[in-house]
Amino acid sequence: MSGSFRWERGRTMIQSPYIHPHIKRRRVHRNRNWTYLGFVRRHPCCACGSERWVEAAHTGPRGLGQKSDDLQCVPLCAKCHRIESRCLHLVGPGVFQLERSVCFTVIVLRLNAEFEAQLSG
């Protein structure tokens, strides 16, 4: 357990919010798969259909300052991903999916199935 303990009222031990600077918090590592990212980039953009400047956009759940697993990526062109005024990075995944009539969950499941079939076949 990180943090220090101190005595308070009635001599009960409670955890202090202070965390010692030499105690490191465990980081949650995400799954990295460079082969899968290359596979995703070979598909056309799922929002506009463009085949130029396609990037693997991470769409899964994540914490502040973290990326989701590589297996949660969808193909998006650079414009739809991060350049346009209504891109994924500016409006967020919920609004982006509604405006573009796409469902990232369905796309991720389809791409994962295709990738597994390609590896096994």
CB 80 within 8 A of CB 52: no
**DSSP assigned state of 36:** H
Which CATH code for domain 34-120?
3.30.40
The domain ranges of the chain are 34-120
Q: Is 107 helix (H, G, I), strand (E, B) or coil?
A: helix
Distance from C-alpha of 59 to C-alpha of 74, rounded to nearest angstrom: 7
pLDDT tens for the chain, 121 residues: list them.
444 445 455 554 555 555 555 655 555 566 788 999 999 999 999 999 999 999 999 987 776 567 788 899 999 999 999 999 999 989 999 999 999 999 999 999 999 999 999 988 7
Q: Is 76 helix (H, G, I), strand (E, B) or coil?
A: strand
* pTM, 2 dp: 0.72
As beta bridge partners, residue 32 has none
